[in-house]
Chains A and B, each alone.
Chain A
Amino acid sequence: MSWTKIFAVIRREYLERVRTKAFWIATFLVPAFFLGYMAVQVASIRKTSGERRVAVVDLTGHLAQPLARELAEREEARRKKTPGSRGIHWIIEPRPVAGDLEKTKEALRREVLDKKLYGYLVLDPSLLEKDRAEYYSISVSEFVALEQMERAINTVLLREKIREKGLPASLGKELEKRVDLKTLKVTTKGATEEKGGGIIAAIVFLAIMYMTFFMYGFQNLRGVIEEKTNRIVELIIASVRPTELMLGKIIGIGLVGLTQYLVWSLVAMNLSLPAIAGMMAMGEAGAPMIPLSTIGYFLLFFILGYFLYASIFTAIGAPFNSDQEAQQLAIIPQMLIVSGLAVYPAVMNNPNGGVAVFASLFPFTAPLMMFLRTAVAEPPGWQIGLSIVILIVSTIGLAWFAGRIYRVGILMYGKKPTIPEILRWVRYRPGKVLQPASPPAS
C-alpha cells in the first residue's frame, strides 16, 4: 500500500467532485428544501395556536372549575415569561351529563365533528382512581396542547388529593416543585421526556446514513464505470494498484458526502437556531440534546456501512460499461438499503424485539438498525458488540471480494459479462506488483 498514491486518488476524487456546480447546487438545494419544510411546520404550529374550546364532563363535580383556573393561570404565566408569544388559549366549558354518559358523549362527539368544539374531556372518578382520564379530540397529535392539558389536570388532581387528605394547601406548592424536579431526573433514566431531542437527532442521523449509502454508494459505481468508459483506468493501474485505486475512490467519495453534511450542519446552525428557539419558546419542548453516545455510534456505523455498500457498488460497477448495464445488479444493494427502512417501524416500536435484533445483526441492515436501537433503547452490550463484529467481518470480506472483481472487471471491455463469468473472476489470478525487496539493479 502506498499512501502517497492512495492520497493522490483521494484528492482527485474529492476535489473533482467538490468543484462541480452540481455538488453545490445539491448542497444548497437540500437545506433550502428543509428550511421550506420547517417553515411550513412552524406555520402550521402557529396556525394551531389560538382558541381551544374544550368541554369537560366532570363526573366528580368539583374538578372542572379548578382545571379552567389552572389553565388560565398557566397561560398568564407564559405571557409574562415571553411577552407577545402566541400560545394556546383554553376555553373550558363544563357540561352536565344529559341523560346517560354515553348519550352525552355522543352529543359532544357531534359538536367536535361540527367544529363547535376542539375536544372534550371526561373526568370519571372510577377512571381517575386508576390514574386515567379520557380526552377526545379531532387532533390527538397536537402535542403541545395535549401536554398542557395533561399537566394542568395533574396539578389539579394533586391539589385535590392534598385537600382530601386534609393537608395544608401550601404543601401543594411544595409537591408541585417536586414534580418539576422529577421531570429533570427522568432524563438520566433515559425515559420519554428527554429522549425527544435524542430521537429527533437519531432520525436525522439515520436519514443521513440512508442517503449516504444510497447516493454516495452509487457514486462509487458511476465513478468506476466512468473511468472505464474514459479508457483512463489502464493508465492509472500502471501506477496504482487496483486495491489502492478502489480504496482511494471510496474514501474520496465518502469525504465528499461528509463535506456536504458539514455545509448542511453549518447552514442548520446559522439558520435554524432562531427557528428552534422560537419553537421552544412557544411550546415547552426541551432543547434537542444529542447524547455523545449517539454521535459515537453514528460515526461508527456510518463508516462501516458506507464501506460495506461502497464495496458492493464498486464490485457491481467494475464489470460493466454503462450505468444501464450495471443498473440490473445495482438494484440488489439498493433493495438492501431500503429493506433497512422497511423494518424501521418494527424496530422503533419494539427496539428489543425479535425483528429488531435480527435487523441489527444482519450486516446489510445492521448499520441503520443497530444505530437506531442504540439511540432509542438500550440494546444489550453483547448485541452491539456482535453487530459490530459481524459488520466489520462482512465489510472486509466484501471489500476483498469487490477488489477481486474490480481488478479484472476494469480491464474488460466489450460484451456484457454474465454473473457466472464475473464470479469466476474472483478466483482468477490477477497481476501482482511486488514490494521492492532488493535495491533495484541499474
Chain B
Amino acid sequence: MTAAIELENVSKVFGRFPAVDSLSFQVPRGVIFGLLGPNGAGKTTTIRMIMNITAADSGEIRVLGNPMTREIQNRIGYLPEERGLYRKMKVVDHLLFLAAIKEVSREDARRRIAEWAEKLELKPWLKKKVDELSKGMQQKVQFIATVIHDPEILILDEPFSGLDPINTAIIKDYLSDFRKQGKTIVFSTHVLEQAEKLCDEICLLARSKKILEGNLRDLKRRFSHNLLHLSVDAPPAEIAALPGVASSQPVNGGYVISLAPGTDQREFLRRALDRYPLQGFSTKDPELEEIYLDAVRASGIEETRTIE
C-alpha cells in the first residue's frame, strides 16, 4: 500500500527566502504524523503545498499515491492555521456550505452535522449565527467543518493553537479515535509537548530543512543517553561523583542522571544500590525537546529562534 503522503525533494522559495529546502518525508497510512518545528521553519508552507494551495517550485508531492487531484482533495480534511468562519452565517448553513464544496450530498451533510453537533454539544447553537458563538464554540464548528465529509486524511495546521484546554482534550480524543478507524492524521505544531503524547511519527523542521524524521519511539531510543531516574536520598555532590555519571539533575525526591556513553546501566545501578538505599528507579526517555535540540546541534543549523 502506498504511503498516505509522500514528499520528494520539495522546495519552495519566496523571493530570496527559501521557505522549504529539498524536503522529503513519508507519512504512512493510519498514523498520527507530527510536522514539528519552530515558527518560520516551513511547516505551513509544506502543508499548503501538500494541499496544493501553493505550488512547489521543484520536487514531487503525492497524496494517496498520486499527484493531488480534485477527487483526492475531497478525501482530505484540512484545518488551516488561519482559520475563520463567515461570521454572519448560521452555523448549520455554514457547515452545509463547507460540506457542499466537498461535494457531500445535502442529505448526508445534514445527518453528519446532527451527529457531530450531538457529540460536541453544539446542538442548541446550530441555528445561531457564528457571530453569536463563544470562541470555544466556534472552534468546535471549525473542527466539524474539517471532518464533515468523513475524510481519509486529516491535515491540521497548528490545530491546538488558541484552543482552550477542554477543546484541546476533546480534539485530542477524536484524533486518537480517527487513528483507530484507520485514518491518517498529519498535524503541525511548534509545541513539542503536544506532539510527544499524540504522534506515532514525526518530522522535525528547522530553518526550512528537515533535521529528523521517523517513528517517535525509535527516535527516543536512538536519542536516549541512558537517562535514569533515581529516587534516592543523597547529597547532589555525591551523586554527581558516582562513576559513570555524565550529568545529574536534582528533581523532586531524587535525581535524573545521564550516564556517560559506554556505561552499563545494570553495572551502574548495582553500584548505586551498594551505596545508598534506593527507593526506586526507572529509565527515562528523552523528551522531544531534548531530541530536537540534539538534532539541531548535530545538523549544524544555528537555531536562534526559541522553541516552547
Interface residues of A (CB under 8 A from B): 2, 4-5, 8-9, 11-12, 15-16, 20, 227, 230-240, 411, 413, 429-438, 440-442
Contact = CB atoms under 8 A, between A and B. Distances in A.
A11 B101 CA distance: 11
Nearest to B103: A4
Contact of A16 (B48, B73, B89, B103): B89
A236 B101 contact: yes
Nearest to B65: A441
A436 B64 CA distance: 13
Contact of B64 (A2, A236, A431, A441): A441
Nearest to B97: A12
Contacts of B49: 431
Across chains A and B, which 10 residue pairs bring their CB atoms closest together, nearest first?
A231-B84, A441-B65, A8-B100, A232-B84, A230-B84, A234-B80, A239-B101, A238-B78, A436-B69, A231-B82
B232 interface: no
Interface string B2-45: 10000000000000000000000000000000000000000000
B111 interface: no
B65 A232 contact: no
A429 B12 CA distance: 12
A434 B68 contact: yes
A135 B80 CA distance: 77
Nearest to A9: B101
B51 interface: yes
B270 interface: no
Given A8-B101, A235-B78, A235-B80, A2 B86 contact: no
B53 A235 contact: no
Contacts of B2: 441
Contacts of B82: 231, 234, 413
Interface residues of B, number: 40
22 contacts: A12-B89, A16-B86, A16-B93, A230-B85, A230-B87, A234-B53, A234-B82, A235-B145, A239-B101, A411-B53, A413-B82, A429-B55, A431-B52, A431-B53, A432-B55, A433-B68, A433-B69, A433-B73, A435-B70, A438-B66, A440-B69, A440-B75
B53 A441 contact: no
Given A11-B100, A431-B48, 11 more contacts: A20-B88, A232-B85, A234-B53, A234-B82, A235-B145, A239-B98, A413-B82, A431-B52, A436-B69, A440-B66, A441-B2
A413 B81 CA distance: 13
A442 B29 CA distance: 10
Contacts of A16: 86, 88-89, 93
Contacts of A429: 55
A430 B55 contact: yes
B268 to A, nearest CB: 51
Contacts, number: 106
Nearest to B62: A441
Contact of B54 (A239, A431, A441): A431
Contacts of B55: 429-432
B78 A440 contact: no
B107 interface: no
Nearest to B70: A433
Interface of B: 2, 48-49, 51-55, 64-76, 78-80, 82-89, 93, 97-98, 100-103, 145
Contacts of A15: 93
B40 to A, nearest CB: 14
Contacts of B53: 234, 237-238, 411, 431
A188 B53 CA distance: 59
A2 B71 contact: no
Given A8-B101, A429-B55, A432-B52, A235 B84 contact: yes
Given A231-B84, A239-B101, A434 B54 contact: no
Contacts of A434: 67-70
A4 B105 CA distance: 10
A433 B52 contact: yes
A436 B80 CA distance: 24
Contacts of B101: 5, 8-9, 236, 239-240
Given A232-B84, A238-B53, A435 B69 contact: yes
B247 to A, nearest CB: 44
A286 B109 CA distance: 56
A239 B102 contact: yes
A70 B105 CA distance: 76
A430 B49 CA distance: 10
A436 B66 CA distance: 9
Contacts of B65: 440-441
Nearest to B82: A231
A435 to B, nearest CB: 6
Contacts of A438: 66
Contacts of B102: 239
Nearest to A411: B53
B160 to A, nearest CB: 17
B19 to A, nearest CB: 13
A438 B69 CA distance: 10
Nearest to B87: A230
Looking at B2, B55, B78, B84, which has the most chain A CB atoms within 10 Å of its CB? B84
B86 A230 contact: yes
A440 B62 CA distance: 11
Contacts of B51: 238
Contacts of B78: 235, 238
A2 B84 contact: no
Contacts of A430: 54-55
Contacts of B100: 4-5, 8, 11
Nearest to A8: B100
Given A430-B55, A433-B52, A442 B64 contact: yes
A436 B71 contact: yes
